[in-house]
Amino acid sequence: MGGAAAGIFIAGNFFTEGRRLRQLIRAPYAVGDDSFVRSMGNLLGPPLLGGNRVEALHNGAQIFPAMLEAIRSARETITFENFIYWEGRVATRFAEALAERSRAGVRVHMLQDAMGCDNTDSPAIRLLKRAGVQLELYRVFHLTRINQRTHRKLLVVDGRVGFTGGVGIGDTWDGHGDRTGNWRDSHYRLEGPAVAQMQQAFMDNWLQTRGCVLHGNDYFPSLPEVGEDVCQVFKSSADEGSDSARLMILLSIAAARETIRIANAYFIPDKLMIDTLLDARKRGVEVEIIVPGEQIDQSWVRWVSRARWKPLLASGVRIYEFHPTNFHCKYLIVDERWVSVGSANLDNRSLRLNEECNLNVLDQEFAREHVRVFEADKANSREVTMRDWKRRPFSEQCLAAGYGLLSEQM
């Protein structure tokens, strides 16, 4: 790579700034208030829609059978956007199910992130192509955008049933999330009018990559109300040049009046997020956070995250490290009424660089069910006190300082 090309590569991938929110948000409303609903719908879009049913699925033992059952039930179309696709048993099962439906005449469209796939010429990938699946690799090489990836996890079947969450297609997730090497994660099955928003999130990147529009009744059918959940499928993109994902999280925290529960695999809060959480504590909001412990796929994430905990711990925020295995969940519960789940981590990569998608749910029953999940995860975690934080190894503190500089651009 020549000097000019290297300069373009570095500038395009690591120093794109765009519009960035810098001022603390204070919300004169609580989650669930009409003002909150209008603000979320109009500032971020699309609007919150009633009449949905959301089912939480936990760990590969629940998630993969539900997704595969939906794929095998497809009659017209399947749209599938994915980040991790690691060669193995799970990848083969998905490839076989998608290939079978494609051979049966179902139009199958798959958008796979190039960097999340460990072998773009694996037997599973070759099977998909031979079966006629329309497979696109997202930004396999783009000089100024190789650092921007699709981290969205979207599966929509016949435009009527959708799935999103944090799980990847890999053997690492295939189990109950309760032992070393078998990751803890959650995914969500959606039915109702908001499925069309999930479909649109897929179409957003499909149009960008494939250059064609998928439309009509087979992709966007009439969707009757099927439940009580009020939902919004929220997407964010580096191409928007804005802080939309970060704004959604900050607005949710600012509207909290009683409790904030955060479970996140890559919790590297920037100064504004820390200040927003500290402001919530000043309002008397209880804040609890679950993050991965020593079993984490990226050790540097833990080092950099822990380096930023001092003001949070000093304010009374309670932080827990999950210990049975790697904790890969991404969910936020506010006031036991508002829940945001999906692919977005609370780090610079997710909030500034990646294509992400979250399902936001405004429903007390769903939120309270997820509080029970949070408590179960917390029971498998160890609380980190200020005394623990001060006793971090000196080597970790040094490494965290170095990696912390890179984390703002990675």
Residue 88's Cβ-count burial label (10 Å; 0-12, 13-18, 19+) is middle
Provide Rg for the chain, Cα atoms.
Answer: 21
CA torsion through residues 389, 391, 397, 399, sign: negative
Give residue 400's pLDDT. 80
Give residue 20's pLDDT. 74
State the Cα–Cα distance between residues 346 and 330, nearest whole angstrom: 8
Q: Among candidates 363, 153, 189, 386, which has minimal Cα distance to 265?
A: 153
CB crowding 140-178: b at 16 or more within 10 Å, else e: eeeeebebbbbbbbbbbbbbbbbbbbbbbbbbbbbbebe
Segment 263-275 mean pLDDT: 96
State the Cα–Cα distance between residues 148 and 347, nearest whole angstrom: 14
Q: Among candidates 190, 202, 234, 237, which has minimal Cα distance to 66?
A: 190
Give residue 77's pLDDT. 98
Segment 270-280 mean pLDDT: 97
Exposure on the CB side of residue 92, measured as CA atoms within 13 A: 5
**DSSP classification of residue 239:** G
Which of 50-64, 292-306, 346-360 is predicted with the least confidence, judged by mean pLDDT? 346-360
Give residue 353's pLDDT. 84
Which residues lie across from 353 on neighbouring strands?
none
State the Cα–Cα distance between residues 332 and 58, nearest whole angstrom: 15
- pLDDT tens-digit profile of 88-120? 999 999 999 999 999 999 999 999 999 889 888
State the Cα–Cα distance between residues 113 and 85, nearest whole angstrom: 9
Backbone φ, ψ for residue 338 (5° rounding): -120, 130
What are the distances in angstroms from CA 395 to CA 132, 291, 388, 392, 407?
A: 52, 21, 15, 8, 18
Give residue 350's pLDDT. 85
Give residue 397's pLDDT. 85
Which of 118-122, 130-134, 150-154 is predicted with the least confidence, judged by mean pLDDT? 118-122
Residues of the chain with pLDDT > 70: what percent?
Answer: 90
In one-letter notation, the amino acid at residue 284 is G
Residue 359 tokens, joined: 């399902």
State the Cα–Cα distance between residues 17 and 409, nearest whole angstrom: 10
Chain mean pLDDT for the chain: 91
Better-predicted residue by pLDDT, 276 or 353:
276
State the Cα–Cα distance between residues 121 and 356, nearest whole angstrom: 25
What are the distances in angstroms from CA 110 to CA 63, 80, 97?
A: 19, 5, 13
User: 95: alpha, beta or left, given left = phi > 0 and alpha = psi -120 to 50?
Assistant: alpha
State the Cα–Cα distance between residues 180 and 203, nearest whole angstrom: 37
State the Cα–Cα distance between residues 263 and 166, nearest whole angstrom: 12
DSSP 33-83: SHHHHHHIIIII-S--EEEEEEEEEEHHHHHHHHHHHHHHT-SSEEEEEES
The answer to whether 392 and 364 have CB atoms below 8 angstroms apart is no
Segment 129-138 mean pLDDT: 96
The stretches of 104-148 forming alpha helices (DSSP H) are 123-130
Residue 283: CB partners within 8 Å, gap ≥ 6? 256, 257
What are the distances in angstroms from CA 47 to CA 41, 86, 231, 360, 367?
A: 4, 35, 8, 11, 19
Segment 255-278 mean pLDDT: 97
